[in-house]
A and B are shown apart, each in its own frame.
Chain A
Amino acid sequence: MKRVRVIPVLLMTSSGLVKSKKFKDYKYVRIFNDKQVDELAIIDITASKEKRTPDLKRISEIAQEAFMPLAYGGGITSLQQAKEIMYNGIEKIILNKSAVANPVLIEEIAGQFGSQSVVISVDVKKNLFGKYGVYIDNGTRRIDIDVFDYVRKCEDHGAGEVLLTAIENDGTYSGYDLDIIRKITSCVSIPVIANGGASGIADFKIAILDGGASAVSAGSMFVFQRPHNAVLISYPSVEQLETRLYNQLP
């Protein structure tokens, strides 16, 4: 049976995990561990903007609670920082702004730890004319590069994966943006992780079969905001994934 990775993406800021007041607590990472998720991505979305460096103490605490592959991103600008993060129990470094500003960093990290340890997070949004643009700083700043040239360049520099987020679909439960997934998966040969808009296993299946994605991820689908700041964490069971996803793949 072919198992594709289903990856929750957790967003955090300096004061904790984002979603609601009660979700800030890092004990929620343990719940994802208890649910035996395939892999977990944690992104500090304001680190770059606020010029904060990665919080190693917090990273180490997370790694001690999580016995699955972990990817971490946010505010990483040097090989030294990447090393410290890896030495604290994380195996993948997620680069967003730094991949744009200093693509050599991709080479440096891949050179030391292998390509599989570098994930490029690409946030995209369509303009009025249907052209996709690349955004940094948590989707607030558009940069003037062609998205296809950019991902190919990242691959050439040694990136191992692309985490592709369609900003406008994110949090909407409206399904992935298949158009951009198809376009990106056909222009690079490294795995592409589809992100933004998933509401269920059916969306995962489409992203893989129609989009050509190698893995799928979601945020809101796994972390429901309930009334009165209550939070519900859900992740499909192995049986659900087997019958409704893996067994449907060629």
Chain B
Amino acid sequence: MIVILDYGVGNIVSIRNMLKKVGVESLVSSDPKEVKKAEKLILPGVGHFDYCMSQIRRAPYFEELSYQVLENKKPILGVCAGCQMLFDRSEEGKEAGLGWISGEVIEFDRNLMPANLKVPHMGWTDVYPKANTPLFAGIEKPRFYFVHSFYVRCGNPDTITSESEYGFRFTASVQKGNIYGVQFHPEKSHQFGMKLYKNFAELG
């Protein structure tokens, strides 16, 4: 059972709809007991970094979540703002991030981009995974739907699992051990997203 972490933020229903479509059992919950029992966790996120961070810290399962992820090494997938929350800090706000992956979240620099590219970066974009990244296994010519004004900059380049391009190359997904993050929205990315969630569900 995958538990989708409910903290009053994020497009939870879309993730649940897609997991259901690919036959993966999931539960939306804010109950620490369910977080403890879960095989895997998904951290959704949409909206302002500070709002997401203050909400998750206030969630009744927050301590249990940290324990399960950091000590118990339970696989967790952060999606969009949920991916950004895994890092130390964000230029978007003042709140500290979860700090589970070293690095920071920075804003698209319009000075480095052609004038016709708008921020937020919104739309379908090709994603270039590194070799042997389990989340992208079996996905040919991956492309995903993105909506974001900020992106992650990893402290350790080894944690980057894929890149994408919008004016310049940026990190599209990360992994550090049991902690995974994707900047794009797999739940809104047709068969590409279905395969990615299936891959996450089937991680050993």
A residues with a Cβ closer than 8 A to B are: 1, 3-5, 33, 36, 38-39, 63-64, 67-69, 86-89, 91, 112-116, 160-161, 189-191, 212, 214-215, 250
**B190 near A36: Cβ-Cβ < 8 Å:** yes
A212 contacts which chain B residues (CB < 8 A)? 116
B28 to chain A, nearest CB (A): 11
A163 to chain B, nearest CB (A): 13
A38 contacts which chain B residues (CB < 8 A)? 123-124, 145
**B13 near A215: Cβ-Cβ < 8 Å:** no
Can you pick out 13 interface pairs between chain A and chain B where the beta carbons lie within 8 Å of each other?
A1-B126, A3-B124, A3-B125, A3-B126, A63-B14, A67-B17, A68-B189, A91-B11, A112-B47, A115-B120, A116-B122, A116-B147, A161-B122
A88 contacts which chain B residues (CB < 8 A)? 13
B123 contacts which chain A residues (CB < 8 A)? 3-5, 38, 215
**B120 near A116: Cβ-Cβ < 8 Å:** yes
Q: Which of B1-40 contact A (CB under 8 A)?
A: 11, 13-14, 17-18, 20-21
B145 contacts which chain A residues (CB < 8 A)? 38-39, 68-69
When each residue 169-192 of chain B gets 1 if its CB lies under 8 Å from chain A and 0 otherwise, what string results? 000000000000000010111110
Given contacts A36-B191, A114-B46, A190-B118, contact A63 B126 (CB under 8 A): no
With an 8 A cutoff between CB atoms, is B193 at the interface?
yes
B108 to chain A, nearest CB (A): 13
- Give 10 nearest A-B pairs by CB, closest first: A89-B13, A3-B124, A36-B190, A69-B188, A5-B123, A89-B14, A116-B147, A64-B17, A191-B118, A116-B120
A110 to chain B, nearest CB (A): 10
A214 contacts which chain B residues (CB < 8 A)? 118
User: Residue of B at shortest CB range from A63?
Assistant: B17
**B188 near A68: Cβ-Cβ < 8 Å:** yes
Other A-B pairs beyond A38-B145, A116-B147, 20, CB < 8 Å: A1-B126, A4-B123, A38-B124, A63-B13, A64-B17, A64-B20, A67-B190, A68-B189, A88-B13, A89-B11, A89-B13, A89-B14, A91-B147, A91-B188, A112-B47, A113-B47, A114-B46, A189-B118, A191-B122, A215-B123
